[in-house]
Structure formats: C-alpha cells, structure tokens
Amino acid sequence: VASESMDIVESLNPEQRLAVKGQGVPLLIEAGPGTGKTRTLTARIAWLIRDQGVAPGTILALTFTNRAAGEMQERLNTLLPGQQGSVWAGTFHRFCLMVLKEYAGFKGFIVDDPARKEMLNQAVAHADVALSSALLDRTISMAKQHCLGPEDDLTKIAPPGLDKQDLVRVARVWQVYQEHLAALDLVDFDDLIAMVINLFNTDSALVATIRGRFAHILVDEYQDVNKGQYLLIGQLAGNGRGLVVIGDPDQSIYGFRGSDNRYFQQFQADYPGAEKIVLQRNYRSTEAILRASFQLLTHGNQEGVSQKVFSDIRGRERLVIIEATSDRAEAVVVGKRIETLVGGLSMFSMDAGKVGSTQENEFSFADVAVLYRTRRQGKIFADVFQQAGIPFQMADKESLLNHPGIGELVSLLRLLKGGATFQDLFLVFNHFKAGAGKGTRQKLGQWFRESELSPAGAVELLGAAPFVHVRKDIAETLLGVARKIMALGQTVQGLGACDCLDLLASKADLYPLIKSDETSCRVFDRLLGDARNRDDDISCFLESLSLENDSESLWPSAEKVTLMTMHGAKGLEYPVVFVTGCEPGLIPFAFPGREPEDIDEERRLFYVAMTRARDILCLTYSTKRRIYGITRQTGPSTFLLDIEAALKEHNHNRYQGKKKKPCEKQLDLFQ
C-alpha cells in the first residue's frame, strides 16, 4: 500500500501531473475518452490530502454516479489508510439532499420513478387536460432542469408539438402534481437541485458556511451539467480558486434532459484566469477502436482533422460488424460470440463463429458489456441469455425492484419508515390479499384524497375501526391487514437495516415469493449485503436506494455479462463491448416517421458507446426489427459508413435456424 501511495502522482503522465498539481486558479481539464480524467481527479484528491495537508472533509467531489463516487472513496482508502474524516464524494442529487437535511431541516423523501409517473397520471386526470403524460413529464422535467417554475414562460424549453394553450395545461398539471407530492412529503430528483439553488439565493450566510466547509470542489463529467447544476457550482465555487472541472464536450449526451455543453465551453469566460489542461493519451482502447470512434465522430473524415486522442495499445486491427436477421437472432449471435470469447461450453458454443484472429478464451463473462439504445432491446437479450444459461446482470434499477417480493418489501419499508405513495400502500394490501378489487380500490382512493391522508395515516385509521364505505367482510379484512402492518412496524422498531430486511421478509411472508424467482433472490441478497456493509439504519438505507441510478443496480464484482443502455455506460470500460441495434431508427434514434431530434447528440452517444471498449468492439445490427408493434426491414446505421472499410471485419451471420443440427434444437426458442 505504501508503494502504491507513493505512486499516486508518479504513475501519471506529465499532463495528468499538471492537472493534479495545478493550484490557486480554477482548472479546466478537457480530454477525450479513456485519457484518465477520472483517475486524475482521484489522484488530485489524494495529493491534496497527502502532500498538501488538506483536511479530507474540506474536499467536495461531484461525480456522475454514486458508484463512481464509491470507487473513488475506495481507492482513496487504499491510497491513504487511516485518514481522519473523509472526502465528501457523491452525485449532485446526493449533495443537494445532504445540504437540505443538514442545513435546512428537510425531512422529506425522494419519489421513485414508477411512483412519479403514476402521480403525474393522477395529476393529469385531476387537472382534466388532454395531454400525453410522457410529453408532460418531459416538459416539466426539462423546465425544472432549467430552474423554471409553473408560473414561468415555458416556450423556450418546450418540446416540439406543444403550443401556447398546451403550455398553459402543462403548468396546470404541474401545479397539481407539485401539490400531490407535497402532501406526501415527497420531492422528485429535479426538485432537489432547484430547492438548494433557491435556498442559496435567499440565504447568503448559508452559502458562506458551505463555501467555508468545502475549499476544494472537483466536478467530473462537467460537459453534462444542466443549468441548475451549473448555477449550483457557481454558487459553491465563488471566484473558483478551489474549483477543478473535468470533462469531454464530445461526450455530452444528456441534452434531451437539459444538459448543455456550452457551460463547459464557457468555463474560461466564467472564471477569468482559469487554466486549461488537455490530456491526449488514451490508456483504455486499442488504436483501431480509437481510430474508428474518431472517424465516427468526425463523419468519416480521415484527413485534415487532427485526432484529439491517441493510443499506443496495439491489438486486434478491426472492429467486428455482425448482421443478424431479427432482433432475437441478434441476441443469439451475440450470445454465441460471448461463449466463444469466454470459452465455456454451452449449446451456443457448438457452432459459434470466431471473433477476430487472435486467441480466444482469454475473457471472462464480467469482461463483457452489451449496450443498446432502448431498454426494450435489453429485455430480448435478457430473455435469450437466460434461456441459454449465460450469466448476466442488467443495469435497470426499476425492473430489478419490480421482481416478486422485492417491490412488496420496499413498499412495506416505505410504508413503515416514510416516503410511501398510495401505490406502495395498494401493493402491500394486495400482497396481504386485501382491497384487491377495483371497486374497493376506488373507494379507498377517494377516501384518501378527500381526507388528505398519507398512506401511513390511512393504515392507522383503517386499523382503528372498520372502514364504513365498503362491504362488511372487506372492511374486516382491511382492518386485519392494517393492524398487521402496524404490528410489523412495532416488530422492526430500532433494528438495523439488515435485520429489518430479514425480519420483514419473514414476518410478512415475502420469502416464498422471493425464493420463487431467481432474480428476486439475487436482488434480495444484494440488498442484504449492502445493508450489512453499510451498517445503516433502515431510513438511511432507503434513502441510498432512492438515490441510486441504473448503473448502480449492478453487482460490481459479479462474474456476469453486463446489459445496459448506451447512456448508462458513460464513464465505464469493458474489455469486450457489443454495441447492438446499429440500425437507423435506433442509432441514430428516431420515432417512426420522424427525424432524429438531435442527430449530433446521437452521434456523440454512439461515440461514447464505442469508446467503452478496451480490446474488442463488435457492432451488430439486424435486417428486420419489431418496433412499436410493427416489423420493419432495416439495415446498417449510416453511422457505420463513417468508419473506413479497412477497420471493419464483416461477419454476416445469417442465422436462420432452418436447417437444424441436433444440438441446435433448443435454439428454436430463439426465432
């Protein structure tokens, strides 16, 4: 450990070292993928503490995911063991929640995504307007990210297709939605940042306190900040003396959610005297992968544009391009390739083709990531891999928590500890076989609304006396269930998160449900493991869960293939990457019959996806795909044409499954 700690700075290249040691002026580090931006950021923190004697508690590191923050903390712990106090590292959202709780007495909870959508639907119904809730969702979220409120002019941020009248409707629904949230002590993700900005705007003493606490502020992935985050950093950083921001404008991929890489570009104007450091050596990908990615980024330009990033890593000289005949066939082909690369024998391996020309079997399942543009595609891979026995994990928090027994458990926890919505309540009721009927549900719903009850309050009232608005036998059941829920609350009083999870699962008869489903078992184990490791009380545990995002729903060290969206893969790296569905409509993404909304951002997203790969990059597409219920003929994405032929090895795996060898029988499943 001592020698590694000596190496924090020494192992870096000269430019990275400059970035670590730059002091006294605001710093902008602009560099392409895999150039060690995130590594440099960690090294800087370690250097500040070890060589500059900076107190860890005065360092604030804002990262894009909590996982990135966790990895940074871990690395710092090894580099600097026995350190007093700790660096504050986490996402903007976690930071804002911390500020609200520690400095503003905030006691609310964060609403999760399914509940948020449900509440928006309710608000739409309540305000009685005819607008798609998806469009509403997007508009409201976009407005919040631009720090606007329902009373503001929304024309600038409105998605196409909404006229002035529509925007008046949006504002109405938004107000109702906000009231519903407030009634349940809930806020959504976007609210958190806006709340802190407002707080800072009205309380300059607090701003001074926080500035006093954090003398060093480091921000990773600065190219993807939105207006709220940008303003927040401005408030925190003051004149910017202790500010370091790191990013790559070519990787900005969240414009559809309000991010704007102009903030990155104007950093030196915002902070006069700021220095800019450029990193150019890529330590991640082979030269071929990097060259292909760069050609994609520059629309196939090979001459005249100087490549911003270079790599000395030699390896396979070509990317593999695979054509399949359907979306399922694509998943089968990818599965076969993975089997070949990993070298295990399964039914797939029997006729699997070769990837590249060098030796196989050098990879493990954990080395492989399968990326796709839309979540829907992920389900096909999950299905096919499941049947083929390929171990995988899917970065999709929502669908993980939806597995049998897990959703019920989390809902029950929220009901007992705060942050529950009526959806949680009904899920728990259903589990206990009460109030399942639509009529009862409606009556209860109406009663909740009229009496302005919280879900927990409703349980208390239902447990106090039989509910009069329903049939007597139903009322009795409800009474019993409400009392049972309250008794469970008593039982777990004062327990740590881990014991609480275990006891609730057993007392609420959730174990049979959990054990009935393989994924449920894994999710439950992971939740237990997290709870044990962190030694939190259950409220902290729930809070962390609510702050998690997709990529954090992964098991970091699992021996499994990772399935995730291209967006989710930001900042990560894998030895083998499959970018799938490389077809117009998906890449670049466009709704049927429409043009892509922001083709440049789609291009950058593809660039991000490609540059996750270290050794092997496979781009796959299908000649036929079912989208929105319609099967259409497709072909390779125009983006693929931007990569020169010499860098591509075509593998048209026309997997039809028509002529069957005996061992292929089971593959019938995949057609």
Shortest CB 251 distance to ligand ATP, Å:
6
The span from the CA of 373 to the CA of 585, in Å, is 10
- For residue 213, which amino acid is it? R
What are the DSSP calls for 629-668, one per residue? TEEEE----HHHHTS-GGGEEEEE------SPPGGGGGGG
34 is in an annotated binding site: yes
- Does 16 engage in binding with ligand ATP (CB under 6 A)? yes
283 near ligand ATP, judged by CB under 6 A: yes
Q: Residue 6: enclosing H or E segment and its boundaries?
A: helix 2-10
Q: How far is the CB of 35 from ligand ATP (least distance, A)?
A: 4
132 close to 170: Cβ distance less than 8 angstroms: no
Q: How far, in Å, CA of 30 to CA of 247, rounded?
A: 5
The DSSP bridge partners found for residue 216 are 59
Per CB under 5 A, 282 contacts Mg ion: no
- Binding residues for ligand ATP, rule CB under 6 A, total 18
- Among residues 563, 552, 500, which one has the least CA distance to residue 523? 552
Residue 573 CB, shortest distance to ligand ATP, in Å, is 6
Look at residue 90 and give its three-state secondary structure.
Answer: strand
Q: Is 143 annotated as a binding residue?
A: no
35 is in an annotated binding site: yes
Name the helix (H) or strand (E) containing 244: strand 243-247
Q: Which does 283 bind (CB under 5 to 8 A by kind): ligand ATP, Mg ion, none?
A: ligand ATP
Nearer to Mg ion by C-beta: 92 or 426?
Answer: 92
From 6, 7, 11, 134, residue interacting with ligand ATP (rule: CB under 6 A): 11
Q: CB 75 → ligand ATP: shortest distance, Å? A: 10
Stretch that binds ligand ATP, among 11-19, 395-403, 420-428, 467-475 (CB under 6 A): 11-19
Task: State the binding partner of 144 from Mg ion, ligand ATP, none, CB within 5 to 8 A by kind.
Answer: none
State the binding string over 552-571 for Mg ion (x if CB under 5 A, else -).
-------------------x
Please tell me the distance from the alpha carbon of residue 462 to that of residue 482, in angstroms, as a whole number.
Answer: 6
Interface pick for ligand ATP out of 9, 15, 30, 35 (rule CB under 6 A): 35
146 contributes a contact to ligand ATP by CB under 6 A: no
- The tokens for 511 are 């174990």
Q: Which does 260 bind (CB under 5 to 8 A by kind): ligand ATP, Mg ion, none?
A: none
| Nearest partner of 61 among 207, 193, 217, 226, judged by Cα | 217
Distance in angstroms (rounded) separating the CA atoms of residues 601 and 593? 19
User: Cα torsion for 223, 224, 227, 228, to the nearest 10°?
Assistant: -120
Beta-carbon contacts of residue 563 (< 8 Å; ≥ 6 apart): 369, 370, 372, 378, 381, 382, 385, 392, 393, 394, 395
Q: Which two tokens stand for residue 377?
A: 């595609």
Quickly count: other Cβ atoms within 10 Å of residue 155's Cβ. Answer: 10
How far apart are alpha carbons 330 and 352 in whole angstroms?
13
Nearer to ligand ATP, 308 or 336 (CB): 308
33 among annotated binding-site residues: yes
Q: Which does 65 bind (CB under 5 to 8 A by kind): Mg ion, ligand ATP, none?
A: none
38 annotated binding-site participant: yes
CB of 68 to ligand ATP, least distance (A): 9
Provide, rounded to whole angstroms, the least separation between the CB of residue 271 and Mg ion. 22
Site string for Mg ion, 241-260 (x = CB under 5 A): --------------------
Residue 34: contacted member of ligand ATP, Mg ion, none (CB under 5 to 8 Å, by partner type): ligand ATP
User: Per-residue contact track with Mg ion, 1 to 40, x per CB under 5 A?
Assistant: ------------------------------------xx--
The nearer residue to ligand ATP, 34 or 585, going by C-beta atoms, is 34
Per CB under 6 A, does 551 bind ligand ATP?
A: no
How many residues in the shown chain lie near Mg ion by CB under 5 A? Answer: 3
Give just the sign of the alpha carbon dihedral 335, 340, 344, 345.
Answer: positive
Nearest C-alpha neighbor of 489 from the set 514, 467, 476, 508: 508
Contact 264, 252 (CB under 8 A): yes
Quote the CA–CA distance of 559 and 333 in Å, as a whole number: 21
Query: Which segment (27-35, 368-376, 641-649, 659-667) binds ligand ATP by CB under 6 A?
Result: 27-35
> 71 vs 530, which CB is nearer to Mg ion?
71
Contacts of 671 (CB under 8 A, 6+ apart): 326, 328, 329, 657
Closest to 20 measured CA to CA, from 2, 1, 45, 38: 45
If one asks whether residue 248 binds ligand ATP (CB under 6 A), the answer comes out as yes
Q: Which of 19, 30, 38, 381 binds ligand ATP (CB under 6 A)?
A: 38
Binding residue for ligand ATP (CB under 6 A) from 8, 9, 28, 33? 33
- The CB-of-368 to ligand ATP minimum distance in angstroms stands at 16
Strand partners, 563: 370, 394
Interface with ligand ATP (CB under 6 A), residue from 12, 380, 428, 613:
12
Among all residues, whose Cβ is closest to Mg ion? Answer: 38
- Whole-number Cα distances in Å, 582 to 310, 514, 579, 588: 25, 37, 7, 8
Site for ligand ATP in 571-610 (CB under 6 A): 571, 573
Does 36 carry a binding-site annotation?
yes
Q: Which residues contact 422 (CB under 8 A, 6 or more apart)?
A: 445, 448, 455, 458
Using CB under 6 A as the binding rule, whether residue 280 contacts ligand ATP is answered as: no
Interaction between residue 37 and ligand ATP (CB under 6 A): yes
Region near ligand ATP per CB under 6 A, out of 30-38, 167-175, 346-354, 402-410: 30-38
Query: Is 244 an interacting residue with respect to ligand ATP (CB under 6 A)?
Result: no
- In angstroms, what is the minimal distance from the CB of 152 to Mg ion? 34
| Minimal distance, residue 314 CB to ligand ATP, in Å | 16
The answer to whether 248 touches 33, Cβ cutoff 8 Å, is yes
Query: Do the annotations mark residue 31 as ligand-binding?
Result: yes
* Closer residue to ligand ATP (CB): 194 or 292: 292
- Residue 229 contact partner, candidates ligand ATP, Mg ion, none, CB within 5 to 8 A by sort of partner: none
Q: Is 480 annotated as a binding residue?
A: no
Nearer to Mg ion by Cβ, of 37 and 146: the residue is 37
Q: Which residue is nearest to ligand ATP (CB)?
A: 36
Kindly state the smallest distance separating residue 285's Cβ from ligand ATP, in Å. Answer: 9
Q: Which is nearer to ligand ATP, 419 or 568 (CB)?
A: 568
* Contact residue for ligand ATP among 20, 27, 36, 613 (CB under 6 A): 36
Copy the structure tokens of residue 575. 């030895």
Neighbours of 202 (CB within 10 A): 9
Go through 440-478 and write b for each residue having 16 or more CB atoms within 10 A of its CB, e for each that does not: beebbeebbeeeebbbbebbeebbeeebeebeeebbebb
The CA-atom distances, in angstroms, between 49 and each of 44, 79, 211, 355 are 9, 10, 18, 46
Q: Which entry of Mg ion, ligand ATP, none binds 13, CB below 5 to 8 A by partner kind?
A: ligand ATP
Q: What does the binding site for ligand ATP look like in residue numbers (CB under 6 A)? A: 11-13, 16, 31, 33-39, 248, 251, 283-284, 571, 573
Residues annotated within the binding site for ATP are 31-38
Q: What does the binding site for Mg ion look like in residue numbers (CB under 5 A)? A: 37-38, 571
Residues annotated within the binding site are 31-38
